Amino acid sequence: MPIAPLVRLPYMSTLADRIQEALDDTGAIAADLARACGVKPPSVSAWLSGDTKSLKSSTAIRAAEFLKVNQLWLTEGRGPKRPEGGAAALPEPESAEPTVADLLERLRAEISTQPEAVKRAIAELVTEYVTTPDASAGKAVADAILRILGPRT
């Protein structure tokens, strides 16, 4: 009895290919993925260049959640790309007013690049922000933090 030829199913052959495809699908950039995974941008650059061949499981989980793909597809190229066959969710439109979560995310991502004096000023403002019961005073503190960080890039 003849043996049927092996049929190769199309798949993304490398982790780098799959991450780039998922980024393209969602419209996100490497810096967004780094923030979502709690890693530094050079780590994501290594993923995208192919220097990194695998991810820690905790990082893979966060990356798959952020990219709206199945973890097995992302890490190994197996299985369906999307959970339950669904399409990637469109990014939420940005609101005109940043939320506390937005501010904290920006702080976490950008504070390491700031001089020590700026880091101290931000830390003092954040402390004041979280201990301020008055919403208008909290808004003033949030505005001060935004001025220190500068415009979004």
Here the tokens at position 67 are 């990219």
Domain extent, residue 126, equals 100-149
pLDDT at 23: 93
pLDDT at 129: 65
pLDDT at 113: 72
Specify if 22 maps to a domain. yes
Residue 107: CB atoms within 10 A of its CB come to: 19
pLDDT at 96: 55
Residue 106 shares a structural domain with residue 48: no
Q: What is the value of pTM for the model shown? A: 0.50
Structural domain count of the chain:
2
pLDDT at 16: 93
- DSSP of 46-61, one letter per residue? HHHHT------HHHHH
pLDDT at 98: 64
Specify if 7 maps to a domain. no
Residues of the chain with pLDDT under 50: 6-9, 85, 87-95
